[in-house]
Amino acid sequence: MQGLRDDVYRRPLATALERLGIGPGWTCADVGAGGGDVSVALAEIVGRDGRVYAVDSDPSSRDVVAEAAAAHSQVLAVTQAGEDLRLPEPVDLAFCRFLLMHVLDPLVVLSRMAGATRPGGWVVAQEPITSAGRIDGTPFSMPGARHPDVGALLPALVRDAGLDVVDAWAEAQAGAGPGPVAAYVETLSGVDPGDDPVILPPLVTVLGRVPGA
Ligand SMILES: C[S@@+](CC[C@H](N)C(=O)[O-])C[C@H]1O[C@@H](n2cnc3c(N)ncnc32)[C@H](O)[C@@H]1O
């Protein structure tokens, strides 16, 4: 599941990280790290001189992240809610993906991420507009998520968290027939879409910057 997510949503992640100009030595927080896909990707970029705090409210995420990041001693797994985010040092980048859709109040979490980031540092959020995805023309739904369409509000939420919105865009992978997109849908829903056309839920990326550098 995590690997599949990494595969089909790798392109938006790569686009976002390229636009930031992230490099060796950066200190990052991956909030709502889950299985640690993004934490590992960040660790590979920041290298041994950098640091990645993999933060998740679910204590079981620690072991999963520790296993995924076994080769990267710069990844530190932290059990903490985004609402209570408190790190030992200000970070250059606070990142979240598929997190705000699950939290009680996305603005509270974004504000904590902003507060954990140094002046001039970056807050990057990637969240879906679930209902804008399609399987054979029918909208996706995700009844288990608190805010399945939070991506549609994301630029305003980032602004309301006190950040300068530097860039924002949406992207989604699409396909028909066997391949990573169909496999992702099957893992997510238990239903193989067969040859039906699939547009995955677009992921909205917002690059926010903490004022005052
Ligand atoms: C759908 S997963 C996303 C994982 C990862 N960010 C990714 O893109 O693959 C959402 C993660 O957010 C975590 N989470 C949910 N609510 C949270 C909160 N309030 N604070 C921190 N983590 C939370 C969950 O435990 C889960 O690991």
We find that the CATH architecture of domain 2-129+143-172+204-209 is 3-Layer(aba) Sandwich (3.40)
Decide: 34 in ligand 1 pocket, CB within 6 A: yes
- Please choose from 57, 83, 113 the residue to mutate so as to test ligand 1's pocket, defined by most ligand atoms within 8 A of CB: 57
Helix segments in 47-169, DSSP class H:
60-68, 106-115, 154-160
Q: How many helices (H) and strands (E) does the chain have?
A: 7, 11
- Predicted confidence at residue 4, as pLDDT, reads 58
- Predicted confidence at residue 1, as pLDDT, reads 39
Average pLDDT per 10 consecutive residues for the chain, totaling 213 residues: 69 92 97 95 96 97 89 95 98 98 98 98 98 96 96 98 98 94 91 96 98 88
Q: Which atom of ligand 1 is nearest to the CA of 96?
A: 6
Helices 10-20 and 37-46 meet at what angle, rounded to 10? Answer: 30
Decide: 57 in ligand 1 pocket, CB within 6 A: yes
Helices 60-68 and 37-46 meet at what angle, rounded to 10? Answer: 40
- Taking a C-beta distance cutoff of 8 angstroms, is the pair 91, 53 a contact? yes
- Predicted confidence at residue 69, as pLDDT, reads 87
Q: Which residue's CA lies nearest to atom 8 of ligand 1?
A: 97
CA of 195 to the centre of ligand 1 (A): 31
Q: Which residues, listed in sequence order, are joined to residue 168 by a DSSP beta bridge?
A: 206
CA of 82 to the centre of ligand 1 (A): 9
Domain ranges for the chain, please list them.
2-129+143-172+204-209
Q: Which residue's CA lies nearest to atom 26 of ligand 1?
A: 34
Decide: 42 in ligand 1 pocket, CB within 6 A: no
- Predicted confidence at residue 189, as pLDDT, reads 85
